[in-house]
Amino acid sequence: MSTAAEIVEELKFPTEVQLLTFYMEDVMEEESTDNIYKFCKKHSVQETDFYAHFSSMEQLKQQIWITFLHNATETLKADASFAQYNDTNKLVALYFTFFEVLTLNRSYITCVLPNNAEALKNLNQLKGLRTAFKAFLGESLNPKSPSFIPEQLSSFAQPLVNESYWVQFLFILHFWLNDTSKGFEKTDVLIEKLIHTSQELSNSKPMESLIDLGKFLWKTKR
């Protein structure tokens, strides 16, 4: 028979973060399940309490990534100097901070992400992150369309610009997953070179930056 303390503990309403943590720990301990009943039973959670936060396990998985991004963006917003950065420095700061958060959770991430660049593009668990990522770009970074696009067409081009940054992020994520350098320093170098190159491309002065980026990527493959 359960003690009074155990009954109180079972009835305690779980927070969203607790549910996310339960799932992440299950994954790392190779005990994860997509069955909500089994998940709730293992962690002494009422199914109704689970559904108060998530409609499915898939939604929970997506929220983990959204939370990673939220932690990074809240850190940036807490820094008064961030608002004064130009778009290039804001993007660099976003990537550096976001990958610091991802590094803290690398054990989980390497368990759930495929080591395949193409597979990352269509991964369901990243769909929510894609939406949140592009929303943050539009609200805080306001990336500009390339200068060679006529102003009257910029509103049509802007969604493509935002999407290009998402593809850029996936490229960096795949690189980071395979980065074996100390402190993932090669990923830091890639971020700086990639952002610099993309900004140069938007200003129609790409050649020197493209050569520099190409040299770096070639060296990392050797």
Q: How many domains does the chain have?
A: 2
- Taking the model in full, what pTM does it have? 0.81
Q: Specify the long-range contacts of residues 135-142, CB closer than 8 Å, at least 24 apart.
A: 136/69, 136/73, 136/94, 137/162, 137/165, 138/162, 140/73, 140/76, 140/77, 140/90, 141/87, 141/90, 141/91, 141/94, 142/87
30 shares its domain with 70: no
DSSP alpha helices (H): ranges in the chain?
4-11, 16-28, 36-42, 47-51, 57-77, 87-104, 106-112, 117-121, 127-136, 154-177, 185-202, 207-220
51 shares its domain with 62: no
Q: Whole-angstrom Cα distance, residue 20 to residue 63?
A: 8
91 shares its domain with 148: yes
**Mapping DSSP to helix (H, G, I), strand (E, B) and coil, where does residue 82 land?**
helix
101 shares its domain with 195: yes
Given pLDDT bands bounded at 50, 70 and 90, which one contains residue 114? confident
Q: What is the pLDDT of residue 142?
A: 61
102 shares its domain with 167: yes
What is the mean pLDDT of the segment spanning 143-167?
58
115 shares its domain with 16: no
Q: Whole-angstrom Cα distance, residue 102 to residue 209?
A: 27
Among residues 14, 35, 55, which one ends one of the domains? 55
- pLDDT higher for 142 or 59? 59
Q: What is the pLDDT of residue 2?
A: 45
Given pLDDT bands bounded at 50, 70 and 90, which one contains residue 196? confident
215 shares its domain with 122: yes
- pLDDT higher for 195 or 154? 195
212 shares its domain with 130: yes
Count of other CB atoms within 10 angstroms of residue 195: 22
Q: Whole-angstrom Cα distance, residue 188 to residue 161?
A: 22
pLDDT for residue 132 is more than 50: yes
Q: Residue 22: CB partners within 8 Å, gap ≥ 6? A: 14, 39, 43, 45
Residue with token string 């610009």 = 161
Q: What is the pLDDT of residue 185?
A: 95
66 shares its domain with 36: no
Domain that holds residue 42: 4-55
- Mean of the per-residue pLDDT values for the chain? 82
Residues 64-73: tens digit of each pLDDT: 999 999 999 9
84 shares its domain with 136: yes
Residues 160-191: tens digit of each pLDDT: 777 888 999 999 999 999 999 999 999 999 99
What is the mean pLDDT of the segment spanning 134-153?
62
Write out the DSSP string of 97-111: HHHHHHHHTHHHHHH
Return the DSSP state at 34. Answer: S
148 shares its domain with 39: no
Q: What is the pLDDT of residue 7?
A: 40
98 shares its domain with 129: yes
Write out the DSSP string of 115-158: S-HHHHHT-GGGHHHHHHHHHHIIIII-PPPPTTS-GGGHHHHH
Question: What does the block give as tokens for 173?
Answer: 């994520």
What is the mean pLDDT of the segment spanning 106-130?
88
Closest CA to 95 of 141, 59, 49: 141
